[in-house]
């Protein structure tokens, strides 16, 4: 959809929601980023999977990628608390093994592949350089961690500082700690982490369609009417 059409479509749907809701949508869009993205590889516990998408929403991460090789990504409504409406979930499940395709796709989009692991000579999270470029943070299952495919193709490795006997956090806690740090630090840098104007319009339209009753159908009819004029 072209920019002008996006603007007109957004204005059309804005008529059918409250000023409070519009203010909330605008506020959250200004805090959204695609500079950082999260990738979950083969997660099988719905509670942890759901907690991660909730953390993405809370920390302003717009895209969550899910690699479904042998485990389907399922959500627990009681944990998600509606956050899945506001985060773009990208499922990678076309093949038996989807990890390498996901990595290649993200690299083409300009992302650094960052493996989160406590077992590699890597940088500690506070020392990670956000200004080097967009980053995709990969998290693996609690049982086996990230696959060799991720480890062999990662551009960088990062670990969360730990000071106890236990060697790792569970995946939902790990993701929350990483995103909390990154979302705070990115706002202290000079990098252009915000969405572009077109991305903001596209996201606002999608959120309005989810907010306004029958919003998707209404916007389809609006576009058809405009084409016939």
Q: Which of 65-97 are b and which e, b meaning 16 or more Cβ less than 10 Å from the residue's Cβ?
A: bbbbbebebebeeebbeebbebbbeeebeeeee
Question: Would you report the helix, strand and coil content of the chain in percent, each value rounded to 5?
Answer: 50, 15, 35
Rounded to the nearest 5°, which phi and psi values hold at 137?
-95, 120
Q: How confident is the model at residue 173 (pLDDT cuts 50, 70, 90)?
A: very high
DSSP letter string over 99-124? HHHHHHHHHHTT-EEEEE-SSSS-EE
Between CA 196 and CA 192 the distance in angstroms is 9
Taking the C-alpha atoms of residue 22 and residue 20, their distance in angstroms, rounded to an integer, is 5
Which has more pLDDT, 85 or 37?
37
Return the pLDDT at 48: 78
Whole-Å CA distances, 35 to 13, 67, 119: 28, 20, 26
Position 82 confidence tier, pLDDT thresholds 50, 70, 90? low
Strand ranges (DSSP E) for 42-149? 63-67, 88-92, 112-116, 123-124, 135-139
Q: The tokens 């627990």 sit on which residue? A: 76
Does domain 33-193 bear CATH number 3.40.630.30? no
Query: 19: exposed, middle or buried (C-beta count within 10 Å: 0-12, 13-18, 19+)?
Result: exposed
- What residue spans define the domains of the chain? 1-32+197-229, 33-193
pLDDT tens-digit map of 105-135: 999 999 999 999 876 668 999 999 999 999 9
pLDDT reported for residue 103: 98
pTM of the full predicted structure?
A: 0.91
Q: What percent of the chain has pLDDT over 90?
A: 66
Q: Which residue has the higher pLDDT, 180 or 224?
A: 180
Q: What pLDDT does residue 182 have?
A: 96
Check whether 204 has a pLDDT greater than 80: yes
pLDDT at 218 over 80: yes
Integer angstrom CA distances of residue 194 from 2, 31, 112, 176, 187: 20, 7, 18, 20, 10
* pLDDT value of position 83: 78
Two tokens at 16?
């059918």
């Amino acid at each position: 959809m072209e920019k002008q059409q996006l603007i007109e479509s957004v204005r059309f749907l804005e008529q059918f929601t409250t000023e409070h809701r519009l203010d909330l949508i605008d506020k959250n869009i200004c805090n959204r980023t695609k500079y950082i993205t999260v990738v979950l590889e083969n997660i099988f516990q719905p509670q942890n999977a759901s907690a991660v998408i909730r953390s993405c929403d809370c920390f302003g991460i717009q895209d969550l990628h899910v690699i479904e090789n042998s485990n389907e990504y399922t959500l627990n409504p009681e944990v998600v608390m509606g956050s899945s409406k506001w985060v773009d979930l990208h499922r990678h499940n076309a093949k038996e093994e989807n990890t390498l395709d996901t990595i290649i796709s993200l690299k083409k989009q300009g992302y650094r592949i960052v493996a989160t692991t406590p077992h590699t000579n890597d940088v500690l999270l506070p020392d990670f350089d956000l200004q080097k470029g967009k980053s995709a943070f990969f998290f693996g299952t609690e049982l086996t961690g990230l696959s060799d495919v991720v480890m062999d193709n990662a551009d960088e490795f990062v670990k969360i500082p730990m000071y106890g006997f236990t060697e790792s956090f569970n995946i939902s806690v790990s993701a929350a700690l990483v995103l909390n740090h990154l979302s705070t630090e990115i706002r202290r840098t000079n990098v252009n982490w915000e969405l572009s104007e077109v991305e903001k319009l596209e996201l606002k339209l999608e959120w309005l369609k989810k907010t306004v009753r029958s919003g998707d159908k209404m916007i389809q009819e609006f576009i058809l009417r405009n084409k016939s004029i």
